[in-house]
Amino acid sequence: MIPGPFEYHRPATIADAVKLLSSLGDDARPLAGGHSLVPMMKLRLATPSHLVDLHGVDGLKGIRRDGDKLVIGAMTTQHALLASEEIGTSLPILHEAVLLIADPQVRYRGTIGGNVANGDPGNDMPALMMTLGATYTLEGPSGTREVAAGEFYQGAYFTALEPGELVTSIAIPVPPVGHGYAYEKLKRKVGDYATAAAAVVLTMAGGKVETCAIGLTNLHETPLLATDAASAVIGTSLDPAALKKAAAAAEAIMAPAADARGPVEYRKHVGGVMVMRALQRAAGRAR
């Protein structure tokens, strides 16, 4: 329960943070809310010799509208996302999903940047960011680049981040007015990570699905975009046959780990159920 020894650094600018991370190399880790990193350090699953705390870095916090996108600073806490009227109005699925993360104590500290950068398949933000078509801005020793959320996750705890790079912000295209949305998450108890979760964003026209995106959490070593499942419901009124087809297509790409949350077959089954529930609830909200 006691982490290994480490040196603490508190840079004031992104440039200083990047410089520190690149010069200290593999032994250094950025520290955001610490709600994933510190437990790993206490279990000695992570033993960084240097922690680069991002709390003093200017310009990493805040939520702003930039044309048809919402741009969220990496150090914006989950609590701040919940408190944002802009998010409640234009990106309600983010509000819904964040409310299903742990408890207020975790959400006061946990950040959106830490959640997307962590690479834990159990984190809720990554699949949601893929569903929404988000892009991450990364800053590192070679400059700034943008990576689509859909291309960021390469394996469990393995992302497109290069040594010394930070996620500085997340840009999310605002879905059209009248879109339907739902984040369905099955968990064993309040505060638990997902046994299975599905994000759906769709639009309806004349009672039929016009556009649809479906993301899956904790059903593979990376978050998944269930494109075949989404295609299966386009042009349908989400009748039982279409829902079943979508669930089957989503289950076909799931490869969850068998763990304390259940065996593989169970987790795939409930993953399909989450997809069907999210589709139905999203359609009910679409205008």
The site for ligand FAD (CB under 6 A) is made up of 29-37, 39, 54, 74, 101-102, 106, 109-111, 113-115, 117-118, 123-125, 161, 166-167, 191, 193
Calpha distance 125→134 (Å, rounded): 11
Please report how close the Cβ of residue 192 comes to ligand FAD at its closest, in angstroms. 6
HSE value, Cβ hemisphere, 13 Å, CA-based, for 94: 33
Q: Are 93 and 128 in contact (CB under 8 A)?
A: yes
Please report how close the Cβ of residue 255 comes to ligand FAD at its closest, in angstroms. 20
Nearer to ligand FAD by Cβ, of 167 and 201: the residue is 167
**How does 193-211 read in b/e, with b if 16+ C-beta sit within 10 Å?**
bbbbbbbbbbbbeeeebee
Amino acid 77 reads: T
Nearer to ligand FAD by Cβ, of 95 and 109: the residue is 109
Residue 90 φ/ψ, nearest 5 degrees = -100, -15
Nearer to ligand FAD by Cβ, of 35 and 268: the residue is 35
Please report how close the Cβ of residue 103 comes to ligand FAD at its closest, in angstroms. 7
Nearer to ligand FAD by Cβ, of 187 and 277: the residue is 187
Please report how close the Cβ of residue 237 comes to ligand FAD at its closest, in angstroms. 33
User: What is the sign, positive or negative, of the torsion defined by CA atoms of 246, 158, 161, 101?
Assistant: positive
Please report how close the Cβ of residue 82 comes to ligand FAD at its closest, in angstroms. 13
Nearer to ligand FAD by Cβ, of 45 and 177: the residue is 45
Nearer to ligand FAD by Cβ, of 118 and 203: the residue is 118
For residue 82, give every residue at least 6 positions away whose Cβ sits within 8 Å of its Cβ, in sequence order, or none. Answer: 95, 98, 99, 107
Quickly count: other Cβ atoms within 10 Å of residue 213's Cβ. 19
Please report how close the Cβ of residue 238 comes to ligand FAD at its closest, in angstroms. 27
Dig out the tokens for 41 from the structure.
Answer: 């350090």
Please report how close the Cβ of residue 34 comes to ligand FAD at its closest, in angstroms. 4
Nearer to ligand FAD by Cβ, of 31 and 246: the residue is 31
**How does 251-277 read in b/e, with b if 16+ C-beta sit within 10 Å?**
bebbebeeeebbeeeebbbbbbbbbbb
